[in-house]
Structure 1
Amino acid sequence: MTAARLPETDLTPVLRTDFSDDDSWRELLGEVDDGWVAVQADRSHEGLSTAELLALVPEGSRYPVLVVADAETFSGEERTLLVVDVADEPGRTFRAVPDACRSAVGNLAIANLGFDDYLRSVDESGVHRITERHLRAHAELEAALQHRPALVPHQAMLALSTTARRRRSSAWRFRQMM
């Protein structure tokens, strides 16, 4: 069987390459599918290596990474996902627990952080996890949003793009100081 090409989309693909546990797959999707990913559960991708998956990425793709649910995902207790660099240095990888994966995909998509930042953030087992600082910041943001009037979609996108520009600028200045 010939492996299906990956979609031409702005959303990050979440690829299933192991089909051993449908229940775990459904649970995993509940943790990572936040509407900002393109879920692919195509049996033609079963068992494919990182290099083989990269060969399926369309020319000029806009997504920075692939997220892969592989055999290690379903055999491990934490169900870590393989995050594969597509944009900067294709083929580099790190693993992430599902809640940290959502955050990483979002930050990489808006260029708030780069792949190198995540490579530096993995723990001694090679896994990226959400830090206590991140959890506190997220809780503060959620609390602040409870007291703001709701934004209509175009206002929300404008606020997001403005914030992303500021963060990229801040991240660039920070890296220049190092």
Structure 2
Amino acid sequence: MPDITGRDEYAALIVRTAYDDEQSWLALLDELGRPRGDGGESEALVHVVDDPVWAGAAPADVLAAARRDEDLAVVFLADATALRSAPHALLALDVGYEDEVLDPEYYRELIESPPAREFRTVPAAVHDVHANLQLANVGFDEFAKEAAAHPDRVLRSF
């Protein structure tokens, strides 16, 4: 898969992997582009990868490319589920690196109850998830637990 480059560090990375519903894709883009904040005072910053070479790409393929960006904490997939779902729930993937040496006790805890590596989120929450993970204000697992607490397992706000 090609590199994902040219992203502003403040922009959430969205990779389109489904190409069978153009109308839903345009609706999702509209939602992602809406100003955010209480009064809509903040511009929505997104970097969209809309290249058919990614059609049908598995999350692992996208993660492999996204991990080349050392400053990236999360990548969002606009997959078939996102395009078909009423809230256009994007798949958020944890880009965290796993190649660091871990304390054996911590490693055992990870094996017994591994942290969540993905969850679904509505477009309106993408910016908050991205910003908080980039700043390390909130851990990926906390967002995943919040999403899991909803009946449809989709994060709407935090």
Is the 1:5–1:56 Cα contact (8 Å) retained in structure 2? yes
Q: Which runs of 5+ in 1 are unaligned?
A: 132-178
1:14 Cα offset (Å): 0.5
Query: For 1:138-177, what per-residue CA distance to the aligned partner results, in whole angstroms no more than 9, with x for missing partners?
Result: xxxxxxxxxxxxxxxxxxxxxxxxxxxxxxxxxxxxxxxx
Q: Alignment partner of 2:138: what SS?
A: coil
- How well do the aligned residues superpose, as a CA RMSD in angstroms? 2.2
- Flag the structure with more relative contact order, 1 or 2, with Cα contacts below 8 A and sequence separation at least 6: 2
- Aligned position for 1:83: 92
Judged with a 3 Å threshold, the aligned counterparts in structure 2 of structure 1 residues 39 and 60 are, in CA distance, closer, same or farther, namely closer
Residue 38 of structure 1 aligns with an amino acid whose one-letter code is H
> TM-score, normalization: structure 1?
0.64
Distance in 2 (CA, whole Å) between partners of 1:44 and 1:38 is 17
**1:97 and 2:122 aligned:** yes
> TM-score, normalization: structure 2?
0.72
Task: After the TM superposition, list the runs of 4 or more consecutive aligned residues in structure 1 that deviate by more than 6 angstroms.
Answer: none
- Aligned position for 2:77: 68
- Aligned position for 2:55: 46
Q: Which runs of 5+ in 2 are unaligned?
A: 34-42, 100-115
Residue 17 of structure 1 aligns with an amino acid whose one-letter code is T
Identify the range of structure 1 (45-54 vs 105-114) with the bigger mean alpha-carbon deviation: 105-114
Residue 27 of structure 1 aligns with an amino acid whose one-letter code is A
- Aligned position for 2:106: none
Distance in 1 (CA, whole Å) between partners of 2:67 and 2:52 is 19
- Aligned position for 2:21: 21
Query: For 1:110-158, what per-residue CA distance to the aligned partner results, in whole angstroms no more than 9, with x for missing partners?
Result: 2221101101211232211126xxxxxxxxxxxxxxxxxxxxxxxxxxx
Judged with a 3 Å threshold, the aligned counterparts in structure 2 of structure 1 residues 71 and 60 are, in CA distance, closer, same or farther, namely closer
Residue 55 of structure 2 aligns with an amino acid whose one-letter code is E
Q: Alignment partner of 1:55: what SS?
A: helix
- Aligned position for 1:129: 156
- Aligned position for 1:4: 2
Counting aligned pairs with the same residue, the percent is 30
Matches within 5 A, 1:139-154: none
Identify the range of structure 1 (5-14 vs 38-47) with the bigger mean alpha-carbon deviation: 5-14
Residue 4 of structure 2 aligns with an amino acid whose one-letter code is L
Q: Which of 92, 99, 114 does residue 139 from structure 2 map onto?
A: 114
